[in-house]
A = this chain, B = another copy of it.
Amino acid sequence: MAALAVAIGIEAQTVWHSADTLLLYGKVNDSTETRYERLPASLKGQVRDQQWYLGKNTAGLAIRFATNSPVVKARWKALNNFAMDHMTNRGIKGVDLYCLGEDGWRFVGSGAPNRDGNGDKTLVQNMVPTWREFMLYLPLYDGVTSLEIGVDSCSLLSNPRYESPIRNTPIVYYGTSITQGGCASRPGMAHTNILSRQLDRETINLGFSGQGKLDIEIAQLMAQADASAFIIDCMPNCDTEIVRERFVPFYRTLREAHPDTPIIVIENPLFSYMNFDQEKYASITALNTELRRQYAAVADANSMLLSPGVGSGSDWEGTVDCVHFTDLGFLRYSQWLLPYLQDLE
């Protein structure tokens, strides 16, 4: 149609469509205050302020759509205009576009925010105009208060024409700043998003930076999902006392609601500073020992305790700061996890 427009001398313009009617991945349910956030409104005042704040970060949320436009743009407003020294603004508050091809989802282009945190970016252009399926990942460490998709005025935009048959039984992944996507260079490289593409299965990101402390309210939220698996990967935010007091009730909340669903528990990864810092080595070793002890009390036929070892790679190069994964660490971590998730029902 763009070719037709050129042929008959019409100059195509950009038409903006609100993303609010497009399919949204990554939420346990729709009972949130606004569309683009993770925690249900009922938890406001029930969880710590910082946890509530992070619930409005859009980690793991993604818009699905189809279009035959030769150009795809995005326009969004950031909630906080947050910044960190060890993560790109593009990962914190940018967007990231993938396209479905014969060999799966492929990276198309990412969009950076402006200085005010808002974005208005062309993500790809000059495409042969044919129908394609797209996924747009939302910011990992900020929220969006509005989101629009821009396409060529001679083209159409619609909800996806293809939907994964296993989308409705998501993996529900609980964790820390690492799970939330710290420090992916762009939203698509958080490991929950990588796994979602590789498995073609929705993955709900319940990673909360510094707040993955086995809070029972989060277990209760997770239990509401018709999950294909639950993953508990929050050790870097815990200490031995938290694990001793809260791990068993957290686990049982999931297990009582889902007697047969796999629950995967992950030990604290080994971080490169442990090769040098004796105190950190001792504290992480003690934490993992306590986790094993508590896990033993609840282990069942559908549970699994995994040790990621280095997690981010045996060359210790997969982190930006000895803790938070880069794209390199995230890809390795997802490759390590993938075999445990490939045969889910």
- Chain A positions within 8 Å of B, measured between CB atoms, are 85-90, 94, 99, 101, 106-110, 112-113, 124-128, 183, 185-186, 189, 272-273, 275-280, 316-322, 326-329, 331
- Cross-chain contact B108 with A272 (CB below 8 angstroms): yes
Docked Cα-Cα span, A268 to B108, in Å, equals 18
Q: A106-B275, A108-B276, A126-B276 are in contact. List 7 more A-B contacts (CB 8 A).
A: A85-B113, A109-B322, A110-B322, A112-B321, A185-B320, A317-B327, A317-B331
Docked Cα-Cα span, A40 to B268, in Å, equals 48
Q: List 18 A-B contacts (CB under 8 A).
A: A85-B89, A85-B90, A85-B113, A86-B110, A87-B88, A88-B88, A88-B183, A88-B320, A90-B320, A90-B321, A106-B316, A107-B322, A108-B273, A109-B321, A125-B277, A126-B278, A127-B276, A326-B326
Q: Which 4 A-B pairs have the closest CB atoms?
A: A85-B112, A185-B320, A328-B328, A326-B327
Report chain B residues within 8 Å CB of A107: 272, 316-317, 319, 322
Report chain B residues within 8 Å CB of A88: 85-88, 183, 320
Minimum distance in angstroms from A193 CB to a CB of chain B: 11
Known: A108-B273, A109-B321, A276-B99. A86 touches B185 (CB 8 A): yes
- With beta carbons under 8 angstroms apart, the residue of B112, B124, B189 that contacts A317 is B189
- Cross-chain contact A280 with B126 (CB below 8 angstroms): yes
Minimum distance in angstroms from A105 CB to a CB of chain B: 10
- With beta carbons under 8 angstroms apart, the residue of B89, B124, B189, B319 that contacts A277 is B124
- Cross-chain contact A127 with B86 (CB below 8 angstroms): no
Minimum distance in angstroms from A186 CB to a CB of chain B: 6
Minimum distance in angstroms from A42 CB to a CB of chain B: 36
Minimum distance in angstroms from A6 CB to a CB of chain B: 13
Report chain B residues within 8 Å CB of A272: 106-109
